[in-house]
Amino acid sequence: MAKYAADLKSRYEHFVINTPEKASQVESLARILSYIIPAGVNNSNIVAELLYSTSNLLVLLNDAILRTARGVTLTVPQAKLRGWMAVIDCAEVFLEMAAGQLGGEPLRWLIIASIQLLKAAIRLFLLLKHDSGMQCSPMLPPLDRSKNITGTPRLSNPVMETIVSETKRSNTYTLPRSNRLIRTLASAPAMSERTWKPLKHGTSSCEGDSDELMDRPSRLSGSHIAGEILHISRPLVHLLSTFVCGRSSWKPWLLAGVTDVSSVALSSDARHLNTREKSEVRRRTLLLLLYLLRSPMYERATRDKLMRGLTIIANEVPVFGMLARPCISYLPLWQQIYAYVWTT
């Protein structure tokens, strides 16, 4: 059994490394199937979420295989721990839905609380112990396959590995006195693609240009650390206040909203953040709009106005009506599954 599993693993790695385009197509197919499964039919919602989670997990797995084959190194602190966090992020909605289906509301809430406690503990550990900087979504920076899979060595071909290794060494030169690593003239890219940032030891010219190497986590201090702690604690604040005040109360919604707004305000100074962290601040700011879709705001204020607006668009605007009608059908389901305060 172990030999069969090892052989299957080797075959899959060979498939991803040698045909990355087909691997991407498999990921896209799983995601597309999750969208076209009809909602509300038997267990179709769970099946659709399983396919969606599977597509995201495949992306993580295939990225890891391609990184290993191409020699692209993750520079983020505690990359393995972040990898497990990324797996949890991909699977948590499916686990919550499956728990509700199998054990009802008590098991569902137990799974929700356990996942959020685990995530908060890991995030605080990364922030306070390993100075991980702002924790962006997704936890692992995605692999830019257009840059990093071109010319990927085929693991089944040792001769190709030797050629690629020799090419990498010939593209750089170490100055004898300063030990500074520079590119040779023969390896210079086109003028429009050149960068004057120095290479770091152990990287080739193409790896030195990787966004993963350039966007190292920024060192946070003061208000940024406070904002990150508030962002990490917001799901726990909401869950605890929901347990105390009830699901229909405004207090959990208001407490979570104040926590989120305070976190964004404390993190808004982007002078010392890298490109990915600045994008994360913008993402968190835009996600504040989700509070319009979260309970009890959705049931008491947003739902009727939103449905009325979508109905007008579906009946009066020919082109946009094709998009509005599915939204009218799916919005109640999406609101129940994805508009929780603890999911982002």
Question: Among the ranges 64-73, 194-203, 205-214, 244-253, which has the highest mean pLDDT value?
Answer: 244-253
Find residue 172's DSSP bridge partners: 183
Mean pLDDT of 305-323: 87
What are the pLDDT digits (tens) for 324-334? 888 888 888 88
- pLDDT at residue number 204: 42
Q: Is the pLDDT of residue 85 over 80?
A: yes
Question: How many Cα atoms are found within 13 Å in the side-chain-facing hemisphere of 148?
Answer: 25
Chain mean position to CA 159: 36
Distance CA 141, CA 63 (A): 10
Of 1-10, 74-83, 145-154, the range with the lowest mean pLDDT is 145-154
Tokens of residue 96, six digits: 């919550």
Which residue do the tokens 């050149």 mark? 194
Of 72-81, 201-210, 236-245, the range with the lowest mean pLDDT is 201-210
Distance CA 291, CA 181 (A): 50
Tokens of residue 182, six digits: 């520079």
Chain mean position to CA 276: 12
- pLDDT at residue number 150: 52
Tokens of residue 271, six digits: 């002078």
Percentage of the chain modeled with pLDDT above 90: 41
Distance CA 190, CA 41 (A): 55
What are the pLDDT digits (tens) for 102-118? 999 999 999 999 999 99
Residue 133's pLDDT band, with cuts at 50, 70 and 90, is confident
Mean pLDDT of 8-14: 91
Distance CA 12, CA 62 (A): 9
Q: Which residue has the higher pLDDT, 289 or 203?
A: 289
Helix segments in the chain, DSSP class H: 2-18, 20-36, 44-70, 79-129, 145-148, 158-170, 205-208, 211-214, 223-245, 250-267, 275-287, 297, 303-316, 318-338
- pLDDT at residue number 331: 86
Q: Is the pLDDT of residue 166 over 50?
A: no
- pLDDT at residue number 4: 86
Residues 6+ apart with CB under 8 A from 225: 127
What is the reported pTM?
0.76
Mean pLDDT of 16-39: 87
129 exposure class (CB count in 10 Å sphere: 0-12, 13-18, 19+): exposed
Q: Residue type at 174?
A: T
What are the pLDDT digits (tens) for 192-216? 555 555 544 444 444 434 444 445 7
